[in-house]
Amino acid sequence: MPPDEPTAAATVETARDSRALGRSLVDTLGAGWARADVDRIMSVFAPEAVFLETPFSEPIRGTADIRRWWLDVPYSQSEITFTSGEIYAAGPWFSTEFKCVFRRKRTGDWVEARGAIFCETAAGLISEMRMYWHRQP
């Protein structure tokens, strides 16, 4: 085997590392969301990150604008729970399903959002996050 090609063991280790990184980033994001802690949420994003809330929304670029989007959480959501599923990883990309349940502060209505998160990473942080989700009601 040429020296620049990875071994099977190295490939397995890289996949394990990618899953572990994805799990760590999603757990940090989820803990931040559940506590309405925008600083914790923002700790997972690279400085030049891109965030797409839905497939139909305009990309939000850079941490200042991403922070502005997440700043709505402490003002509009309470009693938040966040759970995520298995991490699926390939190279710098990972994905997982999620469920977030919260009470709207203004109306008191319960909302259940379920969907998937797809991320690309660079230097151990999320460089792009795409969310696909649906909420009830």
Q: Does residue 100 sit within a domain?
A: yes
Domain region containing 45: 8-136
- Tokens matching residue 100: 């977030």
pLDDT one-digit tens code per residue, 34-76: 999 999 999 999 999 999 999 899 999 999 999 999 999 999 9
Residue environment code for 37-60, b if the CB has 16+ CB neighbours within 10 A, otherwise e: bbebbbebbbeebbbbbeeeeeeb
Q: Does residue 124 sit within a domain?
A: yes
- Domain count for the chain: 1
pLDDT of residue 16: 77
pLDDT at 133 over 60: yes
Q: Does residue 2 sit within a domain?
A: no
- Predicted TM-score of the model (pTM): 0.88
Classify strands 45-52 and 60-61 as parallel, antiparallel or unpaired.
antiparallel
- Here the CATH number for the domain that contains residue 88 is 3.10.450.50
Q: Does residue 14 sit within a domain?
A: yes
pLDDT one-digit tens code per residue, 103-129: 999 999 999 999 999 999 999 999 999
